[in-house]
Chains A and B, each alone.
Chain A
Amino acid sequence: MMLDRKLTRRAWLAGVAGAAGAAFTRASPVREYERGGMVYRRLGRTDIDLSLLSFGSHTDPADRIKIGRLGTVLTEAGQARRDRIIARAFDHGVNLLDVYVNEGQLEPAARLVRERRSRVLVSMAHDFTPDGIDRACRAFGHVDLHRFHTPEIDGRALADWDILRKAKAAGKVRAIGLATHVEKCMETALDELEGIDFIFFPYNFIHARADYSSFLPKAIERGVGLIAMKPLASGSLVQLDPYAHAGAAPERAKIELWKRGAKPLMPSVVAELTKSLGRTPDDTLCMAAMRFVYSRQFIHSAITGMFDERWLDDNYQALETYKEFKGEQEMALRGTAEKLRKLGSNWLPTEYRWLDREWRA
Chain B
Amino acid sequence: MTLIRSFFALAAVAWCGAALHAQPAQDPRFQSAGACGRCHVVSVLEWGSSRHFKAEVDCIACHGPSAGHVIDERNNIKPDKIPHGAAITGLCVECHSAACPKTKSKETCSTCHHIHALVDPKRPLDNRDPEWEAQRQRWVEAKIPAADGSALMGRGQWQEALQQFERSLVLRPGEPEVQRRVQACRRRLAPGLPGFERVGDTFDPKTGLPTLVVARELGLQFALIPGGRVELGSTHHGDSTPLHTVAVRPFYLAVTELTQGQWTALMGQNPSLYQGPKYPEAVRSPVENISWSDCQAAIARLNQRVPGGGFRLPTEAEWEFAAREGGESANDAFNLAAPRPVASGRPNRFGIFDLRGNVWEWCSSLYRPYPYDAQDGREAPEGKDLRVLRGGGFADGAAWFDVSARFGERPDRRLGTNGLRLARSVPE
Q: Which of A130, A159, A170, A171 has the most CB of B within 10 A?
A: A170
A162 at the interface (CB under 8 A from B): yes
Q: When the two chains form their complex, are residues A166 and B386 in contact, meaning their CB atoms are under 8 A apart?
A: no
Distance of A172 Cα from B398 Cα, bound (Å): 12
Inter-chain contacts of A130 with B (CB < 8 A): 395-397
Instruction: Report chain B residues within 8 Å CB of A163.
Output: 395
Q: How far is the CB of B418 from chain A (nearest CB, A)?
A: 9
What A residues does B399 contact at CB under 8 A?
166, 170-172
B417: CB under 8 A from chain A? yes
**Chain A 186-220 interface residues, beta-carbon cutoff 8 Å to B:** 194
Report B334 CB to chain A, min CB distance, Å.
10
| C-alpha gap A163/B392 in the complex (Å) | 12
Q: Say yes or no: A171 contacts B238, CB within 8 Å.
A: yes
**How far is the CB of A57 from the nearest CB of chain B, in Å?**
25
CB-contact partner of A194 in B239, B395, B405, B410, under 8 A: B410
List the B side residues contacting A171 at CB < 8 Å.
238, 399
The distance in angstroms between the C-alpha atoms of A131 and B335, with both chains bound, is 9
Please tell me which one of the listed residues B239, B396, B413, B414 contacts residue A166 in the complex, with CB atoms under 8 A apart: B396
A159–B417 alpha-carbon span in the complex (Å) = 9
Which B residues are in CB contact (< 8 Å) with A166? Answer: 396, 399-400, 407
Given contacts A170-B399, A171-B238, contact A194 B415 (CB under 8 A): no
Q: Are B386 and A194 in contact, CB atoms less than 8 angstroms apart? A: yes
Query: For window 395-428 of chain B, which residues contact chain A by CB distance below 8 Å?
Result: 395-397, 399-400, 405, 407-410, 413-417
B415 touches A162 (CB 8 A): yes
Q: With a CB–CB cut-off of 8 A, which chain B residues contact A134?
A: 397
B-chain residues with CB within 8 Å of residue A172 when the two chains form the complex: 399
Residue A169 is within 8 A (CB to CB) of chain B in the complex: yes
Q: Mark B201-241, 1 if CB is under 8 A from A, else 0.
A: 00000000000000000000000000000000000001100
A125 contacts B by Cβ under 8 Å:
no
- Number of interface residues, chain B, beta carbon within 8 A: 18
The reply to whether B400 and A170 form a contact with Cβ atoms under 8 Å apart is: yes
Complex interface: chain A residues within 8 A of B415 (CB)? 158-159, 162
**Docked complex Cα distance between A169 and B399 (Å):** 9
- Map CB proximity to B onto A87-125 as digits: 1 under 8 Å, 0 otherwise: 000000000000000000000000000000000000000
Interface string of B298-317 (1 = CB under 8 A from A): 00000000000000000000
Residue of B nearest to A194 (CB): B410
Q: Which of B74-110 contact A (CB under 8 A)?
A: none
Shortest distance between the CB of A165 and any CB in chain B (Å): 8
- Residues of A with C-beta under 8 A to B410: 194
Q: How many A-B residue pairs have CB under 8 A?
A: 35
Give the distance in Å from the alpha carbon of A181 to the alpha carbon of B400 in the complex. Answer: 34
A162 surroundings in chain B (CB, below 8 A): 409, 415, 417
| Option from A131, A155, A194 in Cβ contact (under 8 Å) with B409 | A194
Instruction: Please provide the chain A residues from 160 to 176 with a CB less than 8 Å away from any CB of chain B in the complex.
Output: 162-163, 165-166, 169-172
Chain B positions within 8 Å of A159 at CB level: 415-417
Chain B positions within 8 Å of A170 at CB level: 399-400, 405
Specify which chain B residues have a CB less than 8 angstroms from the CB of A165 in the assembled complex: 407
Query: Which of A134, A165, A166 has its CB near the most chain B CB atoms (within 10 A)?
Result: A166
Docked complex Cα distance between A64 and B84 (Å):
68
Shortest distance between the CB of A192 and any CB in chain B (Å): 9
Contacts of B400 in A (CB 8 A): 166, 170
- State the Cβ distance, A50 to closest chain B Cβ, in Å: 22
Contact of B413 among A129, A131, A158, A169 (CB under 8 A): A158
- List B contacts of A158 (CB < 8 A): 413, 415
Closest chain A residue to B236, Cβ basis: A171
Chain B residue nearest to A169 (CB atoms) is B407
A71 to nearest B CB, angstroms? 22
Q: Mask for A149-162, Cβ within 8 A of B = 1, else 0?
A: 00000010011001
Tell me the minimal C-beta distance from B146 to chain A in angstroms. Answer: 48
B239 in complex: contacting residue of A129, A131, A169, CB < 8 Å: A169
Minimal Cβ-Cβ distance residue in B for A137: B399
CB-defined interface of B374-409 with A at 8 Å, one 1/0 digit per residue? 000000000000100000000111011000010111
| Bound-state Cα–Cα, A155 to B409, Å | 14
What is the bound-complex CA distance between A131 and B386, given in angstroms?
26
Task: Give chain B residues whose Cβ lies under 8 Å from the Cβ of A194.
Answer: 386, 408-410
A208 to B407, CA, bound (A): 38
Q: How far is the CA of A308 from the CA of B409 in the complex (A)?
A: 45
Chain A residues with Cβ below 8 Å from B395 are 129-130, 163
Q: Within the complex, what minimum Cβ distance (angstroms) separates A116 from chain B?
A: 26
Q: A162 to B400, alpha carbons, bound, how many Å? A: 14
- Name the A residues within 8 Å of B407 (CB-CB): 165-166, 169
In angstroms, how far is the closest chain B Cβ from the Cβ of A128? 12
Set of chain A residues within 8 Å of B238, measured between Cβ atoms: 169, 171
Cβ < 8 Å to A, chain B residues 249-308 = none
Expressed in whole angstroms, the minimum distance between the Cβ of B379 and any Cβ of chain A is: 21
Kindly name the residue among B397, B400, B408, B414 whose own CB sees the greatest number of chain A CB atoms within 10 A: B397
Q: Which residues of A contact B409 (CB under 8 A)?
A: 162, 194
Question: What is the chain B residue whose CB lies nearest that of A162?
Answer: B415
In the complex, chain A residues whose CB is within 8 Å of the CB of B417: 159, 162
Nearest neighbor of B386 in chain A, beta-carbon distance:
A194
- Tell me, rounded to whole Å, the shortest Cβ–Cβ distance linking A345 to chain B: 38
Q: Report the minimum CB–CB distance from B390 to chain A (whole Å).
A: 12
Docked Cα-Cα span, A134 to B399, in Å, equals: 10
Closest A residue by C-beta to B406: A169
Q: Which residues of A contact B239 (CB under 8 A)?
A: 169
6 contacts between A and B (CB under 8 A): A134-B397, A158-B413, A159-B417, A169-B407, A170-B399, A170-B405
Given contacts A159-B415, A169-B407, list 4 more A-B pairs with CB under 8 A. A129-B395, A162-B409, A171-B238, A194-B408
Those 8 A-B pairs whose CB atoms lie nearest each other, nearest first: A170-B399, A162-B415, A130-B397, A130-B395, A169-B407, A159-B415, A130-B396, A134-B397
